[in-house]
Amino acid sequence: MQRSRSFTEAGHPLTFKNNPPSPFFMKPLNIGMIGYGFMGRAHSNAFRKVNNFFPLQHQVVLKAACGRDGAKTAAFANTWGYQSVETDWKALIAREDIDVIDIAAPNNVHAEIAIAAAKAGKMILCEKPLGMNGAEALTMVKAIEKAKVANMVWYNYRRIPAVTLAKQLIDEGKLGKIFHYRAKFLQDWTINADVPQGGPGTWRLDVSVAGSGVTGDLLAHCIDTAMWLNGSIDTVTGMTETFVKERAHALTGKKQKVGIDDASAFLARFSNGSLATFESTRYARGHKAQYTLEINGENGSIAWDLHDLHRLQYFDHRDGGLTRGWRSIHVTDGDQPYMKNWWVPGLAIGYEHSFVHQVADFIAGLDSGKPAAPSFREGLATDYVTDAVLKSAKTGRWEKVKKI
């Protein structure tokens, strides 16, 4: 059987010319998943699909699911096809048959799990934000770099084809010198003062579990994409607000002071001289998950909206005057990022596929020896920006962002 294949066709690393790799010849990649909530499901779905759509040299094996509640974890394992169940992440890490630890648990346990997993020589995929703050994230970076283990942070929005296409256009110089970056991430689910803090789902409102509010939760995504598209951020000045000052704790029923930021907005200066505005809130009535970004350069502009995620808006000032205008690009063609691996041109994919692409890139990085991004170190860079925003909101001054 002929097994030759090329990973470079059309300049895209994830295409093959001849036969797809056969599972018979593939190396197993044994996953140990921690957490069975929203991201536990999103990642599991990606792990299950990746080998069906992307030609890779590793075959994902859903080896074990881990959660503190044995019955719930077993039900999750059954739904998604995990072979076994653990109720203590330390036991999961101690297992020799696990290659990758995937951290899909709340922010306050990322560091402890990642550091222990690195010491055990496991590859690590970690949800965002990397740490509760920059100092904690730095301890994680040191641990994985000392252990030299493959690592990645789940900043999945980079892998939405329209956003990846934006990166391609910017890198090709289509926009020219960049002047402005504008990003927003708007939600409306915490306006009701009866929403509790702490516990399943609402741990995001408990500062001791989340680290911060919308700054580390939503703006972290905007910051990661922004630095990927437009380079590093030097200085920021921000403001935050906590509109509901006290909320009952889901686990105790007792009213407690709210320590997270409900809304956060900041101005930033990028190292390339461009100016930026970022805004996030969970109090924008009518908006469920509206992540938007716009970039303005000397030759053109691009804009993207998560609510219409398969379209990229593009304006090229060098177009002929009569027909010059914003183009709405339906990013579904085979030569556009990732799309060759899905259906036929014209058929859109969605949110879940960004996670499939991230797993595909992670495995392609293992196959080729060229690690996929974002690494823990890049995750640290985002935590340094959120630290500076939160500090500025307290001091009322412009704050410098720590360099990684």
Q: Which is nearer to ligand NAD, 21 or 198 (CB)?
A: 198
Q: Is the dihedral of CA 77, 108, 354, 38 positive or negative?
A: positive
> 318 with 329: CB under 8 angstroms?
no
Q: Which of 29, 34, 120, 312 binds ligand NAD (CB under 6 A)?
A: 34
- The first and second tokens of residue 330, run together, are 């339906």
CB count in 10 Å sphere of residue 201: 13
- The first and second tokens of residue 321, run together, are 């005057």
Q: Decide if residue 382 touches ligand NAD (CB under 6 A).
A: no
Q: Which is nearer to ligand NAD, 102 or 367 (CB)?
A: 102
Q: Which is nearer to ligand NAD, 154 or 376 (CB)?
A: 154
Q: Decide if residue 36 touches ligand NAD (CB under 6 A).
A: yes
> 104 with 43: CB under 8 angstroms?
yes
Q: Which of residues 13-32 bind ligand NAD (CB under 6 A)?
A: none
Q: Decide if residue 39 touches ligand NAD (CB under 6 A).
A: yes
Binding mask 247-286 for ligand NAD (x = CB under 6 A): ----------------------------------------
Q: Is the dihedral of CA 271, 365, 93, 119 positive or negative?
A: negative
- H or E element in which residue 228 lies: helix 220-230
- Least distance CB 282 / ligand NAD (angstroms): 13
188 — phi, psi (to 5°)? -145, 20
Q: Which is nearer to ligand NAD, 46 or 339 (CB)?
A: 46
CB count in 10 Å sphere of residue 173: 10
Q: Which is nearer to ligand NAD, 86 or 399 (CB)?
A: 86
DSSP assignment, residue 106?
-
CB proximity list for 65: less than 8 A, separation 6 or greater:
33, 36, 40, 44, 73, 76, 77, 80, 82, 84, 85, 86
Stretch of residues binding ligand NAD (CB under 6 A), selected from 114-122, 144-152, 195-203, 256-264:
195-203
Q: Which is nearer to ligand NAD, 34 or 309 (CB)?
A: 34
- Chain residue at closest Cβ approach to ligand NAD: 37
Stretch of residues binding ligand NAD (CB under 6 A), selected from 2-10, 48-56, 101-109, 369-377:
101-109
Q: Is the peptide bond before 374 cis (omega within 30 degrees of 0)?
A: yes
Binding mask 299-338 for ligand NAD (x = CB under 6 A): ----------------------------------------
Q: Which is nearer to ligand NAD, 157 or 270 (CB)?
A: 157
- H or E element in which residue 34 lies: strand 27-34
- Least distance CB 309 / ligand NAD (angstroms): 13
Q: Decide if residue 154 touches ligand NAD (CB under 6 A).
A: yes
> 221 with 155: CB under 8 angstroms?
yes
With CB under 6 A, what is the number of residues at the site for ligand NAD? Answer: 24
Q: Decide if residue 82 touches ligand NAD (CB under 6 A).
A: no
CA distances from 290 to 191, 234, 369, 394 (A): 16, 26, 36, 27
Q: Which of 106, 238, 300, 337 binds ligand NAD (CB under 6 A)?
A: 106
Q: Decide if residue 200 touches ligand NAD (CB under 6 A).
A: yes
- H or E element in which residue 360 lies: helix 351-368
Binding residues (CB under 6 A) for ligand NAD: these are 34-40, 66-68, 89, 104-107, 109, 127-128, 154, 156, 200-201, 203, 217
